Amino acid sequence: FDIGQIRNFSIIAHVDHGKSTLADRLLELSQTISKRKDNKQVLDKLKVERERGITVKAQSASMFYDYKGKRYLLNLIDTPGHMDFNFEVSRSLAACQGTLLLVDAAQGIQAQTVANFYLAYGQDIAIIPVINKIDLPAADPERVASQIEVAFELPASECLQISAKSNLNVDQILPTIIENVPSPSGNINKPFKALLFDSWYDTYVGVICLMAVIDGRDKIVSAFSERRYEVSETGIMYPEQTPSSSLQAGQVGYFVLNMKALSESHVGDTFFDHKHIGTPMPGFTPAKPMVWAGIFPIDTADFEKLDHSIAKLTLSDSSVVIQKETSTALGQGWRLGFLGTLHMDVFRQRLEQEYDANIIITAPTVPYKIDYRDGTQKLIRNPTEFPDLDEVNAKVKSVQEPMVKSTIIFQNDCLGDIMVLCGSRRGVQLEHTYLDENRVLLKYRLPLAEVVTDFHDELKGISSGFASFDYEEDGYDDADLVKMNITLNSKPVDALSIILHRSQAETVSRDWVKRLKALLSRQLFEIVIQATIGNKVIAREGLSALRKNVIAKCYGGDVSRKMKLLNKQKEGKKRMKAIGGVEVSQEAFYDFMSKK
C-alpha cells in the first residue's frame, strides 16, 4: 500500500455528542460493515460501556475508501470520551495525524470538547471541526460554529455540519480527511519500528497489541525492553481482527506476540526489528491512579473467589493498581487504585455484573504526600496510614494534596451558584470566558479530593444537569489536613477513617455521626458513635439499647417455631458485618459508603 494513500485519524468529542454513531456511519459508508437496523454501536464492546454510553477502551477500525480514482486505507482510532480516560485519548492521538473534533449542534462546546481539543492541539495534528446533530430542532450550528472560532481559533466557515443519525453530509467527512490530514511519514524501506498505543487481553489468544507501524514492513519485532517476541499473528481491525501477512509503514494494526500478561505490554513502548534496535520514540508516562479505595467481600468466605475475579478483571484493565489490605473492621481485602471515580464505578459494576461479586467499597481517597522533618517522605493511599494529630504536630513538615485544573462550561444564569460551589470546595479561579452571550467557561484550580466526592453531582444539581465538567492533574499543594476516626463504643472503625481539611472537620464529623446513627439498627446494648480527631471527640451520638428479644416471644411456644425464628435470625446475620462489636448490615454500610 502506498503510504501516501493512508490516513490515520480519530474522533474526539464530549460524551454523547455522537462519536460512536458517526464511527458506525463511516464504517457503513466505506462498506466495512453492513447497514444495521438495530443501531447497535460496533465500536463500543463492553456491556458497561453500552449501559453508560461511554467508551472505556479505545477501539480502532480500518476501512478502504475510493476517492478520485485512488483507493485509500483509512484507520479510525476511537477514543474514550470521559475525563478519567484522558490518558487513553492522548495515547490514541499519538497514532494519528488528524482528528475530527465533533460538537453537538444543540449543546455546543462542552468541557470535554475543550479538554480533548487541547490534547489534540498538543500533539500537533490536523483538527477538523465537525458540528453534529444538525437535524435536532434545537440545533443552532451557526452559534456553535462561532463558539468553535472563539474557543479554538478554528474558522467558523470551515466547520462541517452533519447529522450522523440521519446521514446528512456524512459523505463529506472522508474526502475532507483525505484532503486535510497528512499521510503518515514513515519509510517502508527502513527497518521495522512501531509504536504500541493500546493493548487488551483476549481470552482466546491472550494479549493483543495495537501498534502504529512507523517504518518498515516486517513481521518479526522485538521490544526495546530487550525482550524478544515472535509475531504469531498480525492484521487490521476490519472492524474485527482480520489477519494479514504483514503490516507496513503508516499502517495501524494488531499484533499477537504471545505475551502472557497485559503487564508485558507497555503502552508507549517502541518495537524494533530485532537486528536494528534504535532510539525509542517518546513514550507515554503511565497513568497514575489518583483515586484509591478499599474493596472487601461482604461474606469473608468469598475472599478466594473475589481474589480470582479481581485478578481476571485487571487482566483486561492494566490501569487498575491492586495491593492486598487488611482492615480490622472489614477483614481481608484489597486497596485498588483507579484513574478517577468513573473508572472506579465501572470497575465495581463489572465486578458485580460479570463476576457476581458481593462487595463493600470504602470511601475513595486521593494520594497524599507527607514530608517529615527528618527528610523522609511518605505517600498515603489509605486514611489509616495517615499520621495521627500528635505525630503530625511532632514530626511532620508538610502535608500535600493533589490538585487539578478544571474546566466548567454552563449557562450564564448559574454563574453565581457555581462560583459559590467552587469557593466552598477551596477552589481558586483561573479563567472566566464567554463562549457566546450566555455560555460561560470557567477554569478553577481545586483540590482533587474535593472533586472526587460529590462535586460533579452538585454541579449537575445547580445547573439542572447542563453544566459540563472536566479536569486534568496539576501537581501537589501544601494543605492543612487532619484524619478523622469513627469509633463505635470506643472501638475505632478503620474503614471509616477519612482525611479532611481542618476547616471542614467539624461539619463533616457531625454529618457522619448523624448519618451513621440513622443507618445503624438498635441492638441489645447501647451504641455510642463518635468522631474523633487525635484524642479529641468532635461529634457524638448515642443509640439506646433494644429491649425486645426475639426469643422472648416464644416462651412457652412450640420448639419448632423457636428453631425457625433462630434460623431466620442466623440468616439475617450472614448479611451483617460485626464492626467494633456492633453488627452493621451490609445495606447500611453500603448506603453509607455510596453517599459521600
Residues tagged in the binding site annotation: 13-20, 78-82, 132-135
User: Residue 160 in contact with residue 173, Cβ under 8 Å?
Assistant: yes
Q: How far is the CB of 55 from ligand GDP (least distance, A)?
A: 6
Pick from Mg ion, ligand GDP, none: which does 18 bind, CB < 5 to 8 A by kind?
ligand GDP
Choose among ligand GDP, Mg ion, none what residue 15 binds, the Cβ cut-off being 5 to 8 Å by kind. ligand GDP
Comparing CB distances to Mg ion, the nearer of 343 and 483 is 343
**Binding partner selected for residue 132 from ligand GDP, Mg ion, none, CB under the kind-specific 5 to 8 Å limit:** ligand GDP
Is the alpha carbon torsion for 355, 48, 199, 110 positive or negative?
A: negative
**Degrees, nearest 5: CA angle 114-143-18:** 55
Looking at the Cβ atoms of 86 and 309, the one nearer to ligand GDP is: 86
514 binds, among Mg ion, ligand GDP, none (CB under 5 to 8 A by kind): none
Binding of Mg ion by 132 (CB under 5 A): no
Q: 88 vs 401, which CB is nearer to Mg ion?
A: 88
**Considering beta carbons, is residue 15 or 508 the nearer one to ligand GDP?**
15
Look up residue 551 and give its three cell numbers: 426469643
Binding-residue total with Mg ion (CB under 5 A): 2
Residue 6 binding partner per list Mg ion, ligand GDP, none, with a CB distance cut-off of 5 to 8 Å that depends on partner kind: none
Could you say whether residue 59 binds Mg ion (CB under 5 A)? no
DSSP element (H, E) containing 475: strand 468-478
| DSSP H helix total and E strand total for the chain | 15, 33
Choices 55-63, 117-125, 335-343, 450-458 (CB under 5 A): range interacting with Mg ion: 55-63
Q: Least distance in Å: CB of 460 to ligand GDP?
A: 17
SS3 65: strand
77 burial (CB, 10 Å; 0-12 / 13-18 / 19+) is: buried
Q: Which of ligand GDP, Mg ion, none does residue 186 bind (CB under 5 to 8 Å by kind)?
A: none
Q: How far is the CB of 20 from Mg ion (least distance, A)?
A: 3
3-class DSSP state for residue 13?
strand
Query: Would you count residue 113 as binding Mg ion (CB under 5 A)?
Result: no
Binding residues for GTP: 13-20, 78-82, 132-135
The span of 17-25, 132-140, 365-373, 525-533 binding Mg ion (CB under 5 A) equals 17-25
**Rounded to whole angstroms, what are the CA distances from 156 to 108, 131, 141, 148, 593?**
13, 10, 10, 7, 47
Q: Identify which of residues 164 and 408 has a Cβ nearer to ligand GDP in the complex.
A: 164
Reference 9, options 131, 107, 106, 94; nearest CA is: 94
> Is 55 an interacting residue with respect to Mg ion (CB under 5 A)?
yes
Contact 529, 493 (CB under 8 A): no
Alpha-carbon gap, residue 524 to 559, rounded angstroms? 23
Q: Which does 135 bind (CB under 5 to 8 A by kind): ligand GDP, Mg ion, none?
A: ligand GDP
Q: Which stretch binds Mg ion (CB under 5 A): 48-56, 368-376, 381-389, 431-439?
A: 48-56
Nearer residue to ligand GDP within complex by CB, 27 or 421? 27
Nearer to ligand GDP, 85 or 386 (CB): 85
Burial (0-12, 13-18, 19+ Cβ within 10 Å), 558? exposed
The entry of Mg ion, ligand GDP, none that residue 483 binds, CB within 5 to 8 Å by partner kind: none
Between 11 and 484, CB nearer to Mg ion: 11
Where do runs of H (alpha helix) occur along 435-558? 448-451, 455-462, 505-519
Residue 17 binds: one of Mg ion, ligand GDP, none (C-beta under 5 to 8 A by kind): ligand GDP
Nine-digit cell at 538?
Answer: 468532635
DSSP assignment string, 295-348: EEESSGGGHHHHHHHHHHHHHS-TT-EEEEEEETTTEEEEEEEESSHHHHHHHH
Element housing 541 (H / E): strand 536-543
The least distance separating ligand GDP from the CB of residue 165, rounded to whole angstroms, comes to 3
User: Cα-flanking dihedrals φ and ψ of residue 431, to 5°?
Assistant: -155, 150
Q: How far is the CB of 590 from Mg ion (least distance, A)?
A: 30
Q: How far is the CB of 162 from ligand GDP (least distance, A)?
A: 7
In angstroms, give the least distance from the CB of 86 to Mg ion.
Answer: 16
Q: Which of 8, 20, 59, 248 binds Mg ion (CB under 5 A)?
A: 20
Nearer to ligand GDP, 132 or 407 (CB): 132
Asked whether the bond before 402 is cis by omega within 30 degrees of 0, the reply is: no
| Least Å from the CB of residue 120 to ligand GDP | 15
3-state helix, strand, coil in the chain (%, to 5): 30, 35, 35
Residue 228 CB-density burial (10 A; 0-12 exposed, 13-18 middle, 19+ buried): exposed
CA distance 13 to 128: 12
| Residue 350: contacted member of Mg ion, ligand GDP, none (CB under 5 to 8 Å, by partner type) | none
- Looking at the DSSP bridge assignments, the partners of residue 13 are 102
Q: CB of residue 49 vs Mg ion: minimum separation in angstroms?
A: 7
Binding site for ligand GDP (CB under 6 A): 13, 15-21, 53, 81, 132-133, 135-136, 163-165
Distances (CA, A) of 198 to 26, 32, 79, 284, 317: 22, 22, 11, 11, 11
Q: How far is the CB of 22 from ligand GDP (least distance, A)?
A: 7
CB of 55 to Mg ion, least distance (A): 4
Which residue lies nearer to ligand GDP by CB, 131 or 351? 131
Give the nearer residue to Mg ion in terms of CB position, either 54 or 298.
54
Residues that bind Mg ion (CB under 5 A): 20, 55
